[in-house]
Chain A
Amino acid sequence: MKLRVWWALARGVLLESLRRKDLWVVAILGMIIMAASGALGFFGVEGLQTFAKDLGVTVLGLFSTVIAILTTSRLLPDEIKNRTLYPLLARPISRFDLLAGKLMGAILATWLAFVILLALTSVALLMFGVRFEVIMVQYALLKMVGLGVLCAVTLTLSAFMTPSAAATLSFVVAFGSSMIVRGLTMAYETSSPAMQWFFKFINSILPQFGLFDIGPRVANENWAPVPLWVVGGLLAYGVAYAGGMLLLAWSKFRSQAV
């Protein structure tokens, strides 16, 4: 593995993101969070902790998903469009390295944005008197793994289609996969055996983004932290799924004329 190469590429993505002032988007979204919490505070309602936590994890999930998709979907197409891909490929790096480095950079940029938003949300929650709980650390960790998987899915889609189409489809998958899974589980019992196999197949290939979101447990009272085997399992699943997506993107990109 060429970790140094990947890191160099990832650093490039991160610096490019800073240069393009993507973090301004994060700042604006953060200001929305603070303004919303300020508005709630203005109402002066006691006992809104559960609601504040619920709102916090919902907004955090929404904004970080938007940032992950918008950051990742244009990475490859921009390199091709701006013709900056040629000098990169002239160096002794493979196309797989390029994809892996880009993905690593996208994940780091998304995580940076997520951590900033998380910090702002935490401040807002502290203002509402929300106490710190261990499950919140698990929430942040699992959310970051889920965002990594989302970056991998978006990067792969951008290898197959235009940035706009990749972003749109990524949004559909990110926000719709849980709904699709829910529909499959509801329809499974009343379906024919053949259809049940089809449902199992669809369920296995769909990215299970919903599993990485333990927001409902964080928002409501007295939920125990997630067992460690589950955290480990999700980490393994996330790495495997992102690896699979990377291979899929490479299978397209390695033979693509640029």
Chain B
Amino acid sequence: MKTAPIAIGLLAGSGLFASALRSEVEVPKHHAGLNAHETHASATLLGQFRTSVSSWLWLRTDLYLHNGVEMRQLTEAERKRGIAGVGNGEHGQDALHDDSSIVTVVPSKERDFRGVFGDIERATKAYMRMEGHSHNDPKSALPLFRLMTWIDPQFIPGWTTGATVLGRERSDAALDMGIELLKEGLEHNPNSPSILSELGRFYASKKRDFAKALPYLRRAADLPVRADQLDEVEADGLLSAYRWLCLSYRELGRSGDMYRAAQRGLGLFPDDPLLLRCAADTPYIFTEKGQREWIEQSISESEDHEHHGHDHDHGHEHHDHDHDHDHDHGHKH
């Protein structure tokens, strides 16, 4: 009796049986900002590697913004002891992100028990006191955004943040480059609410061309998705799309459409104060500049609040170096 075929059959049978058990033993994975990676066809072979590379590049951009000085979040114990983060010296629309709860990885002299070893580390590592620090020009990180989107076109924050960094320079050429980058991202990710929302925001906020913003924002709103099916990044993008859609309709004097968009948005985000306000304000038609500023300021405040809540998570959900501070009118709370 030949044993080899039996052995192979046994191996194959046990393999099939084990495959059937996979769904029972593996914990369902849900990473913010990573769903596209896991479901895209390319993820089957190189997806995880590409995701790792793009994540690594993403973290490098943060490091380069601090000129190589490694930063970390305060621990829970440190917060309880009242230790404050370093903060930064940038305010308003110039602020890149919230640094109020981060400190340098290499501890300062007064918080270091290592004596001469600590002194040597501060002399050999990229270390400086970072209280009230400023950041390097994020444009220096632009090549990395380009690189991470080439390596991993499904890495949404690479497209959106790269475009936003381009958009910080308010020249028409820079804005057009940002829009081109987002359109390229849209080709790779046609169903990404974040990219569609960013495109709409570029046209509405930076170019003040609300008619051109509408198709992208409507397309985001028409995506057959539920907010709870999206990861954190894309859910934020969808919410932003509804907000800018309402603003664009309002600017174009289409209060009825604004009302309907706000109602649809509230179906997905029932607690959003801005959409509630838009739905409640209708059919009031805005004509005064002050009223328009109110709604734009509300968008800024809402998005600022949300993103500061999860800045410096050092994961994909930490996706906006300057994304939400970069509004043309500069209203800050």
Which A residues are within 8 Å of any B CB, using their own CB? 40, 43, 45-48, 50-51, 54, 142, 181-182, 185-186, 188-190, 196, 199-200, 203, 208, 210-214, 216-217, 219-223, 226-227, 230, 233-234
- Please measure, in the bound complex, the distance between the C-alpha atom of A143 and the C-alpha atom of B160, giving whole angstroms: 39
Tell me the nearest residue of chain A to B124, going by C-beta.
Answer: A214
Which B residues are within 8 Å of any A CB, using their own CB? 60, 64, 67-68, 70, 75, 77-78, 81, 105, 107, 111-114, 116-118, 120-121, 123-126, 136, 140, 142-144, 146-147, 150
Contact B146 A211 (CB under 8 A): no
Contact B143 A51 (CB under 8 A): yes
Contact A203 B114 (CB under 8 A): yes
- Please measure, in the bound complex, the distance between the C-alpha atom of A189 and the C-alpha atom of B110, giving whole angstroms: 11
- Given contact pairs A45-B147, A46-B143, A50-B140, A217 touches B121 in the complex (Cβ within 8 A): no
Contact B77 A190 (CB under 8 A): yes
Known pairs A190-B81, A227-B123; list 5 more (Cβ under 8 Å).
A47-B142, A50-B64, A185-B118, A208-B121, A210-B125
Measured CB to CB, the closest approach of chain B to A114, in angstroms, equals 18
Contact A189 B111 (CB under 8 A): yes
- Please measure, in the bound complex, the distance between the C-alpha atom of A189 and the C-alpha atom of B111, giving whole angstroms: 8
Contact B68 A185 (CB under 8 A): no
Partner of B124, one of A43, A47, A185, A226: A226
- Please measure, in the bound complex, the distance between the C-alpha atom of A40 and the C-alpha atom of B124, giving whole angstroms: 28
- Please measure, in the bound complex, the distance between the C-alpha atom of A97 and the C-alpha atom of B118, giving whole angstroms: 35
Contact A185 B113 (CB under 8 A): yes
Measured CB to CB, the closest approach of chain A to B156, in angstroms, equals 20
**What 7 A-B pairs have minimum CB-CB distances, sorted nearest first?**
A220-B68, A216-B126, A45-B143, A230-B123, A216-B68, A190-B77, A48-B143
Contact A216 B70 (CB under 8 A): yes
Measured CB to CB, the closest approach of chain B to A177, in angstroms, equals 12
Partner of A234, one of B120, B146, B150: B120
- Please measure, in the bound complex, the distance between the C-alpha atom of A220 and the C-alpha atom of B78, giving whole angstroms: 29
Main SS of chain A's interface residues? helix
- Please measure, in the bound complex, the distance between the C-alpha atom of A216 and the C-alpha atom of B64, giving whole angstroms: 10
Contact A210 B121 (CB under 8 A): yes
Contact B143 A217 (CB under 8 A): no
Residues of A within 8 A of B77 (CB): 190
- Please measure, in the bound complex, the distance between the C-alpha atom of A189 and the C-alpha atom of B103, giving whole angstroms: 15
7 A-B contacts, Cβ less than 8 Å apart? Answer: A48-B144, A51-B144, A186-B75, A189-B78, A213-B124, A216-B126, A234-B120
Tell me the nearest residue of chain A to B103, going by C-beta.
Answer: A186
Contact A211 B60 (CB under 8 A): no
Contact A221 B113 (CB under 8 A): no
Measured CB to CB, the closest approach of chain A to B27, in angstroms, equals 26
Residues of B within 8 A of A226 (CB): 123-124
- Please measure, in the bound complex, the distance between the C-alpha atom of A142 and the C-alpha atom of B147, giving whole angstroms: 31
Contact B120 A220 (CB under 8 A): no
Partner of A217, one of B116, B125, B146, B147: B125
Contact A222 B67 (CB under 8 A): yes
- Please measure, in the bound complex, the distance between the C-alpha atom of A54 and the C-alpha atom of B143, giving whole angstroms: 14
Tell me the nearest residue of chain A to B121, going by C-beta.
Answer: A211
Measured CB to CB, the closest approach of chain A to B120, in angstroms, equals 5
- Given contact pairs A203-B117, A208-B117, A233-B116, A189 touches B67 in the complex (Cβ within 8 A): no
Contact A51 B120 (CB under 8 A): no
- Please measure, in the bound complex, the distance between the C-alpha atom of A208 and the C-alpha atom of B64, giving whole angstroms: 25
Contact A217 B60 (CB under 8 A): no
Contact A230 B81 (CB under 8 A): no
Residues of B within 8 A of A220 (CB): 64, 67-68, 126
Residues of A within 8 A of B123 (CB): 226-227, 230
Contact A217 B124 (CB under 8 A): yes
Partner of B120, one of A54, A188, A216, A233: A233
